[in-house]
Every structure is written in C-alpha cells, then in structure tokens.
Amino acid sequence: MRRVVVLGFVSLLHRDRVPVVGGVDRVVSSVDELRGLSVSDAFVVALILSGGVSRLVREFAESYGLRRLLLVSHPGLNSLASALDAKALLSEVGIDSGILHLNDLSRVNDALRTAKAIASILGIRVALLGVRAKDNVARTFEDRFEARVDAIPMESLEEMINGADEGVATEFVNYIRGKARFEVGDERLIDVGRIYAAMRSLYGKYDATAINCFPYLIKHGVTPCLALARLNEEGLIAACETDLRALFSMVIARELTGYSGWIANMNHVEGGRVTMSHCTIALNMVREARVVTHFESGFSYGLTGKLLFNEVTGVSVSSDFRRMGIFSARVVESGLLSNRMCRTQAILDLGVDSSLILRLAPYNHHVILPGNVTRELETIASVLGMEVIKYT
C-alpha cells in the first residue's frame, strides 16, 4: 500500500481565512512552496481549500510526474469551483483525477478513507497461485496500477501445501469447527488447513493472493473455499479463480468498509431483482455459517451463510481495468436458497429493471460490499481513469 500525502492548496488571498485542518501534511500557496516535497512513492490528495489554485495544482502534478490525483473540495471559499477547474486542467495533460466533495472540512477523514482505498491498489504485490505464466489481464493489472504480479506454478503450490506448518493448519481446523456448523464429514478439513497455512505464509512478501482453484480441487478432491473464507475474514485478501478483476475490488472494499467483499456469480435476473451466489465468502460477512459440499464438484467444502447486511453495493470491473460497473441494492433474502447454484446465495433488489446487468456488466464476477459506497467508488474510478457504468 502506498503511503498517502495530503497537500492543502489555498490562494494567498484566502490563506488567513482557512481554519486549521487536521491530517494535512503541508499547505501551499505558491510554486516556491511546492519545492522539496517527498511524494515519489506516495498517493497524493489535493485538498482544495480555496478558489484560485487550479493552475497551481496542475503545475504541482506535472512537475512531480503524477499519473493520478484525488481532489477534495468543501462548500466554502470557491473550493468546489476550483476543484472542477483543476480536474479539467489535469485532464488536458493526461492526468486522471476525481473529486470528493465534503459537507465541511471536519470530514477530512472521509477523504482519507477513500484515498487509502486507492493507495492500497497502487504498487500492490500479488501472488497468482497455480498459474504457470501471467496472462494479458495480469500484465494489464501491473501496468495500470504499478503493481507486481508473480505466477506461482501448480507444482510449487502443491509443494508449499505439502510442507505447510501443521500447527497453523491445526489452528485453522479448530477455528472452523467452532465457527461453522458442519453438514458433511470434516475428515478432509486438515487438508484445507494446509492450503490455508501455505497461503497465509505468503502475506508479507505479497499483499494479496488469488488461487487457480478448479485445477487443484479436480486433482486433489478438496477445495480451498474455507481457506479463503478465513483469510478474508482476517483482512488478508484472497480471491478465487485467479480473478484479478475481483481482487482489485476486494482490496478497495477492505479499505472502504473494513470487509473484503464477497465475490459472486450472476445467476438470475427478474424484475428488479438479481440472484447471486458463490461457494465462499469471508466468515465475518455471514451469520449461521454452515459447511456443505462445493457446488460444481460435490467435493469438500463449500460455505453457506446469511449476509449480515441489509444494504449492499455491487462492483465489477472489465479485463482492461478501464470500466467499473456499480449498483446499490437491498438484500431480500440470503443463505442456501437452492441446490442448483453455488452455496452462499443472495437475492438483491436493485429497484430498477435488473436485466440492465445483461447489457452493462463489464464481467460476470461482482464483488458485494456492505452499505452504500457508490459515491466513493465513482470517485475512485475517476482517479484511476475508469469509466463508471451505473446499473441504477
């Protein structure tokens, strides 16, 4: 995660009229005050304290070679007008930016939460497990976010699992037994524990992981679903199906909401409702957790539970990371509602014709975040140079 630097921009005319704002690293009013800033390894928030600073913001961004910038405005002193002007000027020179408008300057922490979400994806280190080589999606991910993606072949993953820390694996087994009700035999749980222990050992060297689960489960007859459920509960982002698109959204979700988000398939659209499902979800996102079989294979183990949240936001991104689909919804029902789809399931009410998804969705997988964070996601997309596609 990149560190976040907050710079306050205020014109000389207004400098004495702006209140002291906490969390600001430096306040600048002139080109001279821009010299000597340490921002080469940081994500920068430009807090627009007053009007008359848009050209100074552009000069700053150009002189330091920034690719993107979060602009934060407030209602007073022509701040928003200047932020809009700065956004236009930055666009002219190819710098992506987005505006987060605060109700007042005391809400700067709201901006910092959004900034940390953006910073968390920049320079991220990701391990793709069970993959022999990076594909175009991985290379695009690296280029777009100055990230590092390492492909770890299946043979290496199997060696890691076979040599995993038995103590960590046993702790996992005991934790899962106490956390969820088993509706199938738990004799293979230690095998999942070894997957968990092997994956967990990678964090520190890597910031997130994504596993190529289907080839592994077909060969070994056991799924990584519960391992991912526990890792994500711990705040260690782990995606299934080596899906970097979903991983992107999960990393951002953790910073915005404190939860990893739930990767889900689209199963059915009817009226204003969409049915979604997957065989894993972070354990801290459900109640009444139950361990059942994995849907496609019938192997051990899938996870089901009822979502803890009444209101959610769905987000999906395209393979070139240039488009972000967003919807907000009310949770109508969740749990194991049908045996004909993946085990954690939810029916969501979008409040509009849900068939829009068939036309607008950038990808199948949507990450479901608790609460309504559409405003924050729109700003994040703008800063990262992504087109926003709203279903609602």
Confidence of residue 17 (pLDDT cuts 50, 70, 90): confident
Q: DSSP state, 260?
A: -
Cα atoms in the Cβ-side hemisphere of radius 13 Å centred on 144: 22
Handedness of CA 273, 278, 279, 284 (dihedral sign): negative
Walk me through the domains of the chain, giving residue ranges and CATH numbers. Answer: 3-121 (3.40.50.10940), 125-390 (3.20.14)
Residue given tokens 């953006």 in the structure block: 118
Average pLDDT over the chain, rounded to an integer:
96
Dist. CA 315–CA 247, nearest whole Å: 11
**Dihedral (Cα; 251, 254, 259, 262), 10-degree rounding:** -20
- pLDDT tens per residue across span 301-334: 999 999 999 999 999 999 999 999 999 999 999 9
- Give DSSP secondary structure letters for 305-357: EEES-SEEEEEEE-TTS-EEEEEEEEEEEEES--TTS-SEEEEEE-SS-TTHH
Structure token digits, residue 131: 């993959």
| Integer Cα distance of 105 and 183 in angstroms | 52
Please give the average per-residue pLDDT across 260-268, as a whole number: 97
Cis check: omega of the bond before 301, within 30 degrees of 0 = yes
The whole-number average pLDDT for the span 23-42 is 92
Produce one character per residue of 349-365: b if its CB has 16 or more CB atoms within 10 Å, e if not: ebeeebebbeeebbeeb
Q: How many CB atoms lie within 10 A of CB 26?
A: 13
Do the Cβ atoms of 98 and 380 come closer than 8 Å? Answer: yes
Q: How confident is the model at residue 39 (pLDDT cuts 50, 70, 90)?
A: very high
Please determine, for residue 57, whether its predicted confidence score (pLDDT) is greater than 80. Answer: yes
The pairing of strands 323-335 and 311-317 is antiparallel
Q: What count of residues does the chain have?
A: 392
Q: Are 286 and 344 in contact (CB under 8 A)?
A: yes
What's the whole-model pTM score?
0.96
Cβ atoms 239, 263 nearer than 8 A: yes
The pLDDT of residue 110: 87
What is the average pLDDT across 150-176?
A: 98
CB 125 within 8 A of CB 205: yes
Which residues fall within 8 angstroms of residue 374, CB to CB, at 6 or more apart?
Answer: 313, 326, 327, 328, 390
pLDDT tens figures, 89-148: 999 999 999 999 999 888 888 899 999 999 999 999 999 999 999 999 999 999 999 999
